[in-house]
Amino acid sequence: MRTDMDVKAATSSSALPGTGPVERVGTYTREELAARISAFHGTAAPGVVIGCIMIDLAMQQLPEGILFDAICETADCLPDAVQLITPCTIGNKWLKIINLGRFAVSLYDKYSGQGVRVFLDPCKLQGWDELRCWFLKIKPKHDQDSDLLHTQIWAAGRDIYTLHPVQIDACYLKKQSKGPVGICAQCGEAYPLKDGATCLWCQGHTHYTTPALS
């Protein structure tokens, strides 16, 4: 079994395991992964494909058999990749999104907070022009060559990513409890009592209006 020190040793090297073109991600072939992404995300978006490769790479660095959580640093595409190939989802709260605008994900032991962070490294995209143009938004979407982009994602393999060990802050290791639930005196719906005397909707935090009934 790997130890936490193995995580640091593996990620301290610039050489990543399995360099060269990617043929499989976990148990999925390219075709199987594309179909799974399309069914979940709506299309085989390049960001989700890249995310799945990143997460597969990070999982290889974790000690075997641990329970882990994930933090995504973007809300775009990457969270769907996490939910596709790990047990971490937004619903079970094992996946957190801290939107820093960076295409990076951390997987870490849910109790100790020790883990690994991986990101698509723009300094490693030389020679992969279509991928670089997509990632840095150099070309508008209608001018991108989708087939070439996907070809380059798979051909670039794991060489375009950077990994390093991380220690997640203790505040993200605590189990978040909803706490006691009550009935709002104004609207009559159930809500967490920690939100105040009435529910947040009745306090003015709303995303919809109700048409008046005739």
Predicted confidence at residue 184, as pLDDT, reads: 97
- Taking the C-alpha atoms of residue 55 and residue 47, their distance in angstroms, rounded to an integer, is 12
Q: What domains appear along the chain, each with residue ranges and CATH number? A: 4-172 (3.30.1330.130), 178-214 (3.30.60.80)
- Taking the C-alpha atoms of residue 22 and residue 52, their distance in angstroms, rounded to an integer, is 11
Which residue's structure tokens are 């020790």? 114
Task: Kindly give, in sequence order, each residue whose CB lies less than 8 Å from that of residue 35, ignoring residues fewer than 6 positions away.
Answer: 44
Predicted confidence at residue 21, as pLDDT, reads: 85
Predicted confidence at residue 141, as pLDDT, reads: 87
Q: What angle do CA 47, 49, 55 make, to 5 degrees?
A: 95
Predicted confidence at residue 76, as pLDDT, reads: 96
Write out the chain's pLDDT in tens, 214 residues: 333 434 444 443 334 555 678 888 988 999 999 999 999 999 999 999 999 999 999 999 999 999 999 999 999 999 999 999 999 999 999 999 999 999 999 999 999 999 999 999 999 999 999 999 999 999 888 999 999 999 999 999 999 999 999 999 999 998 777 889 999 999 999 999 999 999 999 999 988 888 865 5
Tokens standing for 82?
Answer: 């996490």
